[in-house]
Amino acid sequence: MEGVPPNAWNRGLDRTSDPRREPGPINLQRYAFVPAYAGIATFFGLPLCLNPDDLRAGHVDVAVVGAPVDMSTGHRGAAYGPRAIRADERILPNTPQMLVNPSTRIKPFEELTVVDYGDAAVDSFSIDNSMEPIRTLVREIAGTGAIPIVLGGDHSILWPDAAAVADVYGAGKIGVIHFDAHPDCSNDLFGHLVSHATPIRRLIEDEHIPGRNFIQIGLRSAIAPDDELFDWMREHGLRAHFMAEIDRRGFDVVLQQAIDEALDGPEYLFVSLDIDVLDPAFAPGTGTPEPPGLTNRELLPAIRRICHETPVVGMDIVEVAPHLDPGYTTTMNARRAIFEALTGIAMRRKGLPGPAYLDPAVAGPPPGQQT
C-alpha cells in the first residue's frame, strides 16, 4: 500500500513495559503444583519475562523464546510449534522443580534460572519482515548474558538466531552444530533468498559465521544437496556428517568428531536442531520427514553432551508441525531435547567431568569394570 511504512504491522504495539511494575520474572502459576493440563501455558510452567530488565533483575541463565513463522515452507503448520512445545505436555506436571534428569540425576531447574520470554513479533504476511524482530529479541536475551533457546517455527529462523548471538559475542567467534536431514544452505528457494532452505547461506555470506565452523549431522535428503550445492559446501569448508557416515562409522564416533570440529576455532557454539533429523518414527510431526534418521536414544544424549562439554551460548529447535503429530511424539521429543540441553548447561555450570557423563547410580560401572 502506497505510503505505508514497512514496519507498520508492528509499530506502537510493544506492551512489554505495561503495566508499570518492579522488574523481574513473573510467575503465572497460581499453585505450587500444577498438572500439565491446567494453568497458563509457559514452557514447563516457568515464570515469564517480558524485557531485558526482567532478565537482569531475575539473574536469568536461560530464556526460552518463540519464533512462530512458517511462511518459508511448502507445508504450513510449524508456526504453531512454539505453542505446542509449551502446551502439549501430556505426562509431566508443569512444576519444573520436580524434574530430574534420569541419566545424570541433575535437576536443571534447581541449578539454573530459566524463564519463558514470550514470542517474537512476526509479520504474518512477510517472512522477510519477520527476520529482524526475531533477531532483535534473541539479541536482547544474549545481551544480558542469558542463553536464548528459540522455539520454531521453520528453519529460516536460524539466520536471525545465530546472527543475533554473533552480534553479541562477535562475528567469527560462533560455531554451529546443526542437526538436520537437509543441508539448508541453498542460495534461494524458487527465487526467495529467505526460506527454510537458505539460512546457512545467508549466515556465511553475511560473514556472521565462517563456513568451516558449520558442523552438520544427519544429512540424508533425497533431493539435496545436488552436485552444485555439494561443491559449494566443500568450497566453503562446511563439515557435513551424512547418515551414510553414521551408518558406517557409528553415531558415537561421528558425534565425538563433530564436537572436536566444533571446538576447532570458535570460542562459542550455537546448536540448531531441526526435528526432522529424527527418523519419522520418532518425529512424524514435521513438514519434510526423511527416513531413515536418528533415533531419540542417539539424539537426546548427544544434545546433553554438547551442552555439557562445549561453550553453548544459544540454541534453536525448529520444524515441529503439531497438526502432523497424531500421538504428540514429535512435540514430546522436542521438549525432551530442550530438557536435555538444560541438563547439559547445568552440568557444565557444576563442573561435572566428561565425556558422556552418566550418574553411576543409574548407569552402573563402565564397560570392562563389571563385577
Give tens-digit pLDDT for 219-248: 999 888 999 999 999 999 999 999 999 999
C-alpha cell at 72: 518459508
Residue 230: count of CB within 10 angstroms of its CB: 14
**Contact, 23 vs 53, CB < 8 A?**
yes
- Alpha-helix residue ranges (DSSP H) falling in the chain: 52-57, 81-87, 108-111, 127-143, 158-169, 199-205, 227-235, 243-249, 251-262, 296-309, 329-350, 360-363
Alpha-carbon gap, residue 242 to 215, rounded angstroms: 11
* 268-274, strands of its sheet edge to edge: 114-119, 62-67, 147-152, 312-318, 268-274, 174-179, 214-219, 239-242
Does 6 or 34 have the greater pLDDT score? Answer: 34
The predicted pLDDT at position 370 comes to 64
**What are the distances in angstroms from CA 157 to CA 102, 111, 122?**
31, 29, 11
The predicted pLDDT at position 2 comes to 46
Alpha-carbon gap, residue 336 to 101, rounded angstroms: 10
37: pLDDT strictly greater than 50: yes
Concatenated DSSP letters for 288-300? S--SS-B-HHHHH
Phi and psi at residue 103, to the nearest 5°: -95, -25
pTM above 0.85, yes or no: yes
Does 272 or 123 have the greater pLDDT score? Answer: 272
C-alpha cell at 257: 568428531
Does 178 or 20 have the greater pLDDT score? Answer: 178
Mean pLDDT of 320-327: 94
**What are the distances in angstroms from CA 313 to CA 52, 117, 142, 159, 274?**
17, 16, 8, 15, 18
Alpha-carbon gap, residue 108 to 61, rounded angstroms: 11
pLDDT tens track for 143-190: 999 999 999 999 999 999 999 999 999 999 999 999 999 999 988 788
**Contact, 15 vs 128, CB < 8 A?**
no
Does 91 or 293 have the greater pLDDT score? Answer: 293
Q: Which residues of 63-86 are buried (b: 16+ CB within 10 A; e: fewer)?
A: bbbbbbbbbbbeeebbbbbbebbb
C-alpha cell at 261: 570440529
15: pLDDT strictly greater than 50: yes
Ranking 49-53, 75-79, 229-233, 324-328 by mean pLDDT, the lowest is: 75-79
Mean pLDDT of 352-357: 94
Mean pLDDT of 356-365: 93
In the block, cell 520444524 appears at 319
**Contact, 127 vs 156, CB < 8 A?**
yes
The one-letter amino acid at 317: I
**What are the distances in angstroms from CA 305 to CA 207, 252, 298, 341?**
28, 11, 11, 8
Ranking 154-158, 280-284, 367-371 by mean pLDDT, the lowest is: 367-371
- Catalogue all structural domains in the chain, each as residue range(s) with its CATH number: 41-352 (3.40.800.10)
Q: What H or E segment, with its residue span, contains residue 349?
A: helix 329-350
Alpha-carbon gap, residue 33 to 250, rounded angstroms: 42
**Contact, 96 vs 116, CB < 8 A?**
no
How many percent of the chain have pLDDT more than 90?
77
